Amino acid sequence: MREVDVLGVRLQLPNNAPVVLLKERDGQRVLPIWIGAPEAAAIAFGLEGTRPERPLTHDLLLDVATASGRSVTAVEVTQMIDQVFYADLILDDGTRVTARPSDAIAVAVRGPLPISVADDVMDEAAVVPDDDEESAPTEDDLEQFRAFLDTVSPEDFDSPQA
């Protein structure tokens, strides 16, 4: 396993697909994971420390774990099968709960919790940014993402069957 940090969420041009970027702590590789818009917003809110009046699903999950006498201690991106990533939430008693990486990362940034990626996943899917390519989001990237965030609200994440 490789420990990673969340570089942030970007919109991948030309189709404005959200992608979360995970950078290995002891290396140069970056793992891009394409995610949905609601998950991108949830991760961005967590990175910014934004806590809405009513808890989002990821906040709720952490609150339920705490109320149950448990805590989530780590997140691991465990495998990639047919270009689909898989992750686990690790509880304080060692229990592993399977999750989508986007949801697991949204939980992790709220913790904050350590995030690790399996070596074989990094070897297969991570990239090394070009020397002249900036790994941090550009001002244009940030402006586009801010515009996207301006169009979403916590209510956008409420389930219609709730």
pLDDT of amino acid 145? 67
Residue 139, domain member (yes or no):
yes
Question: Is-above-0.85 flag for pTM?
Answer: no
Least confident of 10-14, 80-84, 140-144: 140-144
Mean pLDDT of the chain: 85
By residue range, what is the domain housing residue 105? 2-153
Number of domains in the chain: 1
Residue 82, domain member (yes or no):
yes
Let me know: does 137 contact 10? Beta carbons within 8 Å.
Answer: yes
Residue 17, domain member (yes or no):
yes
Residue 45 has pLDDT above 90, yes or no: no
pLDDT tens digits, 54-86: 888 888 888 899 999 999 999 999 999 999 999
- Please compute, for residue 86, the number of CA atoms within 13 A of its CA located in the half-sphere on the CB side: 9
Residue 61, domain member (yes or no):
yes
Residue 104, domain member (yes or no):
yes
| Contact partners, residue 52, CB within 8 Å, separation at least 6 | 45, 59, 154
Kindly report the CATH number assigned to the domain that includes residue 106: 3.10.690.10
Residue 162, domain member (yes or no):
no
Residue 86, domain member (yes or no):
yes
Residue 160, domain member (yes or no):
no
